[in-house]
Amino acid sequence: MKRQIPLIIVIGLGLLFVIHTFVPHKISEDFYEWWQTWSKAISPFMVLLGIMSLFMVHSTKIKRKTANWQYSFVTLGGLLITAFVGFMWGTREGTPYMWLFKNIQMPMSATMFSLLAFYIASAAYKAFRARSVEATVLLVAAVIVMLGQVPLGAQISHWIPDTSKWILNVPNLASKRAIGLGVGLGITATSLKILLGIERKYLGGD
Amino acid sequence: MSNNNTRFWDRMQNLDRRYIYIVVALAIIIPLLIPFNSKTYITEPVENLYKKVDSFTDREDRAILMCFMHDASTMPELFPMEVSILRHCFERNIKVFTICFLPTAAPLIDYAINTAKEVGGFDVKSGIDYCNFGYKPYALFLPILLGMGEDIAEAVETDSEGRKVENLEIMKDLKNYNELNLVIDFSASASVQTWITYARVKFGANIGAGITAVMAAENYPFLQTGQLVGMLGGLKGAAEYEKLVDIFASNNVVFSKEIVKETWIPITDKQIPYQFKIARIGMNAQSVAHIMIIVFIILGNIGYFVSRKSKNKELG
């Protein structure tokens, strides 16, 4: 029953949504509105579930003193402090919540993301080599697109941004579209397998 | 001499990465501290988005929705875009709504609105000229996205201040995507494709994207098909939009290609507030950093070929 009930819900609702897409009848529209109301009611429970799960994972880590368990205090402390100041004084401009956001979260997040620039530069120097024809094509394309992205490229010659545009609009677009079509077909096939009950891995177990 | 040369390139091949980090840090920090004037060239996707937003000027029955789908980590690229578009809307009396489905994006909306409002000195009021729908749980992304196709007020229910959306003055003449006719998604992911799949295909809404540079290439197929009316790609897109707002919106002038070609706006101009030229200042740093990376690639390859040649010689 633990597997059959979720399976019936997924197949039943999945088929109903397929029917709704193709049948614009009043019953179909009413069903759709009913679903929208229900989905709104379900979402707060999902947030609650997330918070509970976070607490359970990190409190277990602290209890068992697993590797880097000290950081779990930081995670839970961050969650509690942010929630407390948010509930107490609100989240608008001028509140402690906004102060925390501007002075802690913003610089820390931006710092993490900006490390990319250093890794890219180092990786480009160490690994970007014209070892084969394919690697040379990739290298030349990367240099043109990089130059085309900055004003200096256009100042050197108009053909740099023009070629960069061509690379993005022709070879890049063709490959992206091919990947997109493949992904689309894959999604359709997987959806059909789920609707027909052939694919059941999402239920867990083997 | 030749031996010394080979040794030099061998050493260069094994250069400690900390030297590279220092050079990159300097290449980014110095142009940020000492801004210099560089030209900003306008590309078609940015021009198209600007023109679409501008076409809603002074219209009561048109509005745009800005969806903040990112957190603070991608702020350096996306925040200048958001401030520029909000500034454009405030300058040209365009109704604008904001929404987010990530809790970490909610303070970003307040920050962007306040930056545009306070730095620009605009006398705009929440609920009349603009409205922040605020944070909605991600689980409601699809129900709200689809619901707005029928009735915005019913789908969103309340704004960030807890007011009933249907009672707000800004909602007069606005019902669904027929009026909320342009959605601009700002993200570092492919979330704009969800807007295209549902809001564009099902309801005919116009969709625009503000996206980080690394994700921009993903969206070119949608630009070509017209499913995206325009796109701001990375800091470059933000810099271009900033320039367009400086030339046209802030002077209450309608877009013209000729004026863009003839106009030169120096970023060292003190009259332009720092927050309104931050992307163009950032582009200087990006220009130098790109040049540095290209130099690194060239040096790395010279070293690779010199080492390979000497190894081949040794092998006979």
Residue B268 confidence (pLDDT): 81
Verify that B91 and B145 share a domain, yes or no.
Answer: yes
- Residue of B20, B40, B72 with shortest CB distance to A121: B20
Higher pLDDT, residue A4 or B247: B247
B232 and B171 within one domain: yes
Model pLDDT, residue B304:
87
> Pick from B74, B104, B217: which is nearest to A176 by CB?
B217
For residues B160, B164, B167 and B171, what is the CA-based torsion angle, rounded to 10 degrees? 50
Residue B204 lies in a domain: yes
- Local structure of B63: helix, strand or coil: strand
Q: Give the residue among B191, B236, B230 at the shortest CA–CA distance from B81.
A: B236
Identify whether B73 is part of a domain: yes
Q: Are residues B197 and B308 in the same domain?
A: no
Give one DSSP letter per residue of B172-222, joined into a string. Answer: TT--STTTS-EEEEEESSSTHHHHIIIIIHHH--EEEEEE-HHHHGGGHHH
Is there a domain that residue B271 lies in? no
Residue B10 pLDDT level (bands cut at 50, 70, 90):
confident
Chain A, chain B: beta-carbon pairs less than 8 Å apart: 148
Q: Which residues in chain B have Cβ-Cβ distances shorter than 8 Å to A129?
A: 300-301, 304
> For a pLDDT cut of 70, what percent of chain B falls above it?
99
Q: Across A32-46, A115-129, A141-155, B111-125, which has the greatest mean pLDDT?
A: B111-125
Predicted confidence (pLDDT) per residue in A13-44, tens digit: 899 888 888 888 888 888 888 887 787 788 78
Residue B135 to residue B145: CA distance in whole angstroms:
14
Q: Does B139 lie in the same domain as B105? A: yes
Query: CA-CA distance, A37 to B290, in Å (whole number)?
Result: 50
Judgement on whether residues B30 and B146 belong to the same structural domain of the protein: no
Rounded percentage of chain B residues whose pLDDT exceeds 90: 68
Whether B77 is in a domain gets the answer yes
Q: Are residues B207 and B283 in the same domain?
A: no
List of chain B residues whose C-beta atoms are within 8 Å of the C-beta of residue A168:
217, 220
Whether residue B136 is contained in a domain is answered as yes
Query: Which residues touch A29 (CB under 8 Å, ≥6 apart)?
Result: A20
Considering only CA atoms, which of B55, B86, B88 is closest in space to residue B68?
A: B86
Whole-complex ipTM = 0.81
Distance CA A92, CA A101 (A): 11
pLDDT at A206: 56
Which phi and psi angles does A108 have, rounded to 5°? -70, -45
Residues B97, B188, single domain; the answer is yes
What residue spans of chain A are helical by DSSP H? 4-22, 26-64, 70-89, 96-100, 106-127, 133-148, 151-156, 159-169, 171-195
Structure tokens at A112: 């993490």
Confidence of residue B234 (pLDDT cuts 50, 70, 90): very high
Give the closest of A125, A128, A139 to B20, CB-based: A125
Predicted confidence at residue B163, as pLDDT, reads 95
Q: Does B229 lie in the same domain as B120? A: yes
- Give residue limits of the domains in chain A: 128-198
- Say if residue B310 is in the same domain as residue B170: no
Is residue B118 one of the residues assigned to a domain?
Answer: yes
* Confidence band of A120 (pLDDT split at 50, 70, 90): confident
Same structural domain, B111 and B162:
yes
pLDDT of B52 reads: 97
Q: Any alpha helices (H) in B217-277, and if so which ranges?
A: 220-225, 234-247, 257-262
Question: Do both B297 and B205 map to the same domain?
Answer: no
Q: Is B199 exposed, middle or buried (0-12, 13-18, 19+ CB in 10 A)?
A: buried
> In Å, what is the CA distance from A105 to each residue of B28, B33, B170?
22, 23, 33
A 36-95 residues inside an 8 A Cβ radius of B:
36, 39-40, 42-44, 46-47, 91-93
Interchain CB distance below 8 Å, A109 and B107: no
Query: Residue A205: which pLDDT band, with cuts at 50, 70 and 90?
Result: low
Q: For chain B, how many structural domains are there in total?
A: 2
Instruction: Report CA-CA distances (Å) from B213 to B128, B210, B216, B219, B237.
Output: 34, 9, 5, 11, 9
> Closest to A110 (Cβ–Cβ): which among B15, B73, B292?
B73
B209: domain range? 44-263
Q: Tens digit of pLDDT for each residue in B148-182?
A: 999 999 999 999 999 999 999 999 999 999 999 99
Q: Which pLDDT value is given to residue B2?
A: 63
Cα dihedral value A98, A99, A104, A106, nearest 10: 50
Same domain assignment for residues B154 and B220:
yes
Give a yes or no: residue B272 inside a domain: no
**Nearest alpha-carbon partner for A113 in B25, B75, B52:** B75
Asked whether the predicted pLDDT for residue B5 surpasses 80, the reply is no
pLDDT in tens, A42-87: 878 888 899 999 999 999 999 999 989 999 999 999 999 999 999 9
Distance from CA of B254 to the nearest CA of A (A): 25
- Would B33 be classed as within a structural domain? yes
Interface of A with B in 97-136 (CB under 8 A): 97-98, 101-102, 105-106, 108-110, 112-114, 117-118, 120-122, 124-126, 128-131
